[in-house]
Amino acid sequence: MLFRSLLWLLTIPMSMALFAVIPRLVPPTISSLSTQSSSSKLMTGFSENVRLDEFAPVLQSDDLVLNVRAIDGWGHPASLPDDFLWRGMVFTQYLNRAWNATPPYELQGSVRTWPETPPSVSSAVVRFYVDQETPTDNTVISPNGLLWARCNQTDYVAAYAAPDDRVKLLGRRRADEPRRRTLSFLMFAERESAARELKASRETSQTYLSLASTMPPGFAKLRELGTRLTAGLPSDDVDGRIRRIEEYLSDPKEFHYTLDLQRKDSMIDPVEDFLFNTRQGHCEYFASASALLLRSVGVPARVVNGFKGAEWNELAGVYQVRQRMAHSWVEAYVRGNWRTVDP
C-alpha cells in the first residue's frame, strides 16, 4: 500500500510536465484578420475566408492547433522540413476585397470517402497521426499531398472534397457531445518534395478552372504589370510566366514581409495598393498578388489557407502546429497539376 502511494506521488510531477508541454488544442478557425475586442489589433491564425480590407498591427497567437506524429516508410519517426505545408481551406473567387471558398454547387457530388484500405507504405509515403479539436467549419487540417485519411472516432468521417483537394469532416455533433473535443486522424501523404505539385482530381471541371481563372472587374494596373513581367515569353510557356511572377514578388528589393499592415490609398483594391504603393504585407497579400497576376496572364490559380512548418516537442515526441504558423500560398494549374507558388 505504501509502495502504491509513493508511486502515485511520483506520477504527479510527470503528469504536470506533460500537461505543460502538451497544451490544450484549440479549433483552427480564428481569423487572421479578426479585430480583437480589447484593442484595435488583429490576430494571426487560420481563417475560413481571406479578407484584405482590415488594417492594424497583427499579433501572433501561440495557441496550439495540431499534435502530430509522423512515421516514415520504415516505421521510424519522420523529420518534417521547416516549410512543410498543412492544408486547410481553398479559395477560387476574389470579389469585394476578399477571397471566398468554391461555391457549393461546384463541389456538389464531388465529396467522396477513401477506400477502406490505406495506401501501401513506401519510402515516398509518410504516415501521420494527427490530433485536432473538432473543427467548427468542418475543415480538417491535413498534410499537403494527402493520399488517404480516416477519422478514428466512429461518429465522424473524413471525406475528400474534390476538386479543392481538401478534407471535410462529415457527421453531426451529438447533443451530449462536449463543445470542445479532440479528434484523432490517421493520414497518409506524399513526402513534401512530391507534394509541391499535386495531380488535379478527376472532378476538376472546366467550370472549376474557369473560376480559378476569373479576374475581378478593374485591375488595369495589375493586368499591365502581369503583361510587362511576362513580356517576350512564348505563348505556351506557362512555367516561364509562373517563374517570373514568383521571382518578382520574392525580390527583397521590391517587397517586404510585415505584420504591421498599412494602407496608402483606401480607394483602390488592397492588392493593387500592396503592389504599387506600400509594397509590404503578410502572406495573404503575397498570395493574393501572385494569384491575380497569374490569372491576368492566363494561368488558373487558387489561394490555399493552412499552416507552414511545425515545432518538434522533444519531451512529448510530437510535432506541434500553432496558430502563428498560419499561412496562405497559391497553387497554379499547369498541365493537369496544381503547382505550389509561394513567394
Alpha helices for 173-305 (secondary structure H): 192-195, 206-211, 220-229, 238-250, 270-273, 283-296
Asked whether the predicted pLDDT for residue 259 surpasses 90, the reply is no
For the ranges 184-193, 209-218, 322-331, which has the lowest average pLDDT?
A: 184-193
The rounded Cα 265 to chain-centroid distance in angstroms is 29
Q: What is the mean pLDDT of residues 151-159?
A: 89
* Residue-level pLDDT at 275: 97
Q: What is the mean pLDDT of residues 244-268?
A: 92
Q: Residue 71 to residues 19, 20, 171, 227, 310: CA-CA distances in angstroms?
A: 24, 24, 28, 45, 15
Q: Is the pTM of this model over 0.75?
A: yes
* Sequence letter at residue 322: R
Task: Quote the Cα angle for 203-208-214, to 5°.
Answer: 165
How many contiguous H segments (helices) and E segments (strands) does the chain have? 8, 23
Task: Quote the Cα angle for 147-121-189, to 5°.
Answer: 25
* Residue-level pLDDT at 194: 61
Q: Cα separation of 25 and 134, whole Å?
A: 10
Asked whether the predicted pLDDT for residue 44 surpasses 50, the reply is no
pLDDT digits 0-9 by tens, 56-110: 555 578 889 999 999 988 889 999 999 999 999 999 999 989 998 877 766 666 7
